[in-house]
């Protein structure tokens, strides 16, 4: 896994010649493309592209690439970004008391599957300090008072301060069970990923498994999504479902649900970390 890649993601108004222009630019500098994905969003008439290039095939580094690409990007009115696989994204995980998603992410991290740095974990409970610190990761406790809006705002301000202090790139709400205030949703738009324990848009809000139980559905689901200022309504990254039947209680659903929550969050986060997720309004293009 020591090969180094530059990953270019762009979106722009659709027209003929975009692929030719961008791949021409890359080829002109000898760039070797190892993975390329394209998509046209019909309604928005917008074109999306992701290209992974072997860094050692280029005569310059990421900075120079960016500098030279600007002209082309302006010509096509592109929103674009270039990532260097040698520079890992910095992930901050927020948890409450439930640890199944945390355990899953930390295992993927320590086994080298999830290629990020984790500068800290933040929680409104002390329960998981020991497990986090065993990994050598700093653990920050931030009190989150019930029913006290000013104190809650202060707590979230502290979370934002910690995130900025460690220069976080992406924040994951790994069953954090707290509603993030609108100002932070806006400030970190496209950078905070939540896992919701239902197949959205069904059963948004509190206690989705109880809602599912009372409706008598035959499958339950989980959804990883970027948060927005509307609760459980942000852009969906990944979803999955699992079969249940009449014999399953709410407790059974919680147990099955944990497994798909972990899977759906881990997949969604991996897509984000690998620059596979591009935003298109309130929808996502995911180049798997």
In angstroms, what is the minimal distance from the CB of 101 to a second copy?
11
Residue among 4, 39, 140, 152 that touches a second copy (CB under 8 A): 39
Does the protein bind a second copy through residue 288 (CB under 8 A)?
yes
Nearer to a second copy, 89 or 100 (CB): 100
- Site for a second copy, residues 205 to 264, rule: CB under 8 A: 215-219, 221, 235-241, 245-247, 249, 255, 258-259, 263
What are the beta bridge partners of residue 123? 95, 141
Q: Are 136 and 124 in contact (CB under 8 A)?
A: no
Instruction: Report residue 96 as tokens.
Output: 């409450």
Tokens found for residue 49: 């592209």
* Binding test (CB under 8 A) with a second copy, winner from 128, 195, 200, 265: 200
How far is 128 from 138, CA to CA, in rounded Å? 11
Which residues face 83 on adjacent strands?
7
Residue 244 has what DSSP assignment? -
Q: Which of residues 65-124 bind a second copy (CB under 8 A)?
A: 99-100, 103-104, 107, 111, 113
- Taken in order 13, 18, 21, 23, the sign of the CA dihedral is positive
Q: Which stretch binds a second copy (CB under 8 A): 16-24, 87-95, 156-164, 187-195?
A: 16-24
Nearest residue (CB) to a second copy, 154 versus 233: 233
Rounded to 5°, angle at Cα 232 from 10 and 147: 130
Please state the closest distance from residue 38 (CB atom) to a second copy, in A. 5
Q: Both tokens of residue 209?
A: 């498994």
Residue number, 124 or 284, with CB nearest to a second copy: 284
- Cβ-based nearer residue to a second copy, 191 or 267: 267
Which of residues 45, 79, 186, 282 is near a second copy by CB under 8 A?
282
285 pairs with which residues across the strands? 278
Q: How far is CA 1 from CA 11, 53, 83, 86, in A?
A: 28, 14, 16, 11
In the residue annotation, 232 being an active-site residue is answered as yes
Element holding 283 (H helix, E strand): strand 283-286
Question: Among 99, 104, 169, 232, which one carries the catalytic annotation?
Answer: 232
The CA-to-CA distance between both ends of the chain, in Å, stands at 18
For a second copy, the binding residues (CB under 8 A) are: 16-17, 19-21, 23-24, 26-28, 30-42, 57, 99-100, 103-104, 107, 111, 113, 134, 199-203, 215-219, 221, 235-241, 245-247, 249, 255, 258-259, 263, 266, 280, 282-286, 288
State the catalytic residues. Answer: 232
């Amino acid at each position: 896994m020591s090969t180094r890649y530059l990953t270019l993601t762009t979106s722009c108004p659709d027209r003929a010649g975009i692929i030719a222009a961008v791949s021409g630019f890359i080829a002109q500098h000898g760039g070797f493309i190892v993975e390329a994905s394209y998509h046209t969003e019909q309604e928005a008439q917008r074109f999306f592209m992701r290209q992974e290039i072997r860094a050692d095939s280029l005569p310059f580094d990421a900075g120079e690439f960016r500098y030279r690409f600007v002209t082309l990007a302006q010509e096509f009115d592109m929103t674009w970004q270039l990532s260097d696989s040698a520079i890992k994204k910095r992930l901050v995980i927020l948890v409450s008391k439930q640890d199944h998603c945390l355990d899953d992410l930390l295992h993927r991290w320590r086994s080298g599957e999830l290629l990020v740095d984790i500068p800290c974990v933040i929680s409104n409970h002390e329960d998981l300090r020991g497990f986090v610190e065993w990994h050598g990761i700093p653990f920050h406790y931030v009190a989150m008072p019930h029913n006290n809006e000013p104190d809650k705002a202060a707590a979230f301000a502290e979370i934002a301060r910690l995130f900025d202090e460690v220069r976080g790139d992406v924040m994951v709400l790994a069953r954090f069970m707290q509603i993030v205030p609108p100002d932070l949703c806006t400030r970190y738009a496209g950078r905070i990923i939540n896992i919701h324990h239902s197949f959205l848009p069904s059963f948004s809000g509190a206690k989705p498994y109880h809602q599912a139980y009372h409706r008598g559905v035959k499958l339950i689901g989980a959804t990883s999504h970027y948060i927005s200022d509307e609760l459980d309504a942000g852009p969906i990254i990944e979803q999955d479902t699992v079969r249940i039947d009449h014999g399953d209680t709410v407790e059974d659903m919680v147990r099955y649900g944990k497994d798909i929550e972990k899977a759906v969050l881990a997949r969604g986060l991996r897509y984000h970390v690998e620059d596979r997720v591009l935003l298109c309004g309130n929808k996502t293009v995911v180049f798997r």
